[in-house]
Amino acid sequence: MSLSMYQASIPPLLRMLGNFKAILEKGVAHEAAKKLDAGVLPNCRLYPDMFPLRSQVFIATDMAKSCPARLSGTEPVSFEDTEQTLAELITRVEKTIALLKTFKPEQIDGSEERDVTLKTPRGSVNFKGQQYLQHFLLPNFYFHVATAYDILRHNGVELGKFDYLGSN
């Protein structure tokens, strides 16, 4: 049995977004236990030239919500990047999960050869659907989720590998 484009995209994104939400919730618990200001962790970075945690969440959720839109040939929904606290970032992850759940297999399946064009500051980048999913979208999504995890872990949030991978 072959793996459909829907199965290769939506379930893995939903699973990791659920894990991401749980990771961010551990960040909220850490803030409360350490009596940290709610704006501290979202603005932490691993290194001065890297994006802060809140930007990692923005990018990961943007990647996730743009995936089914681009594969289905529709325009991605835009979220304003205004979240300042972990609680607000969790809400953004929840909105992304809800949005992904609105896509049906028939909207995405068969998109392996669909043209996907991304506009970037360096110019347009063209992909076919499967190439976009496997070689651009998923690696970028996982990178930003892992980097957010790393920022929280680096700042003392008690996280382990199975927080990232999930329990199932």
| 155 within domain boundaries | yes
pLDDT tens per residue across span 53-104? 999 999 999 999 999 999 999 999 999 999 999 999 999 999 999 999 999 9
Closest CA to 36 of 150, 163, 155, 160: 155
Residue 123, classed as helix, strand or coil, is strand
Query: What's the confidence (pLDDT) of residue 81?
Result: 96
* pLDDT tens digits, 104-124: 999 999 999 999 999 889 999
Q: 36: buried, middle or exposed (CB in 10 Å: 19+, 13-18, 0-12)?
A: middle
Count of structural domains, the chain: 1
Domain assignment present for 168:
no
We report the CATH number of the domain holding residue 97 as: 1.20.120.450
What is the extent of the structural domain holding 108?
5-159
Q: What element of type H or E holds 64?
A: helix 53-72
pTM of the model: 0.96
Q: Residue 168 above 90 pLDDT?
A: no
In a domain, 167, yes or no: no
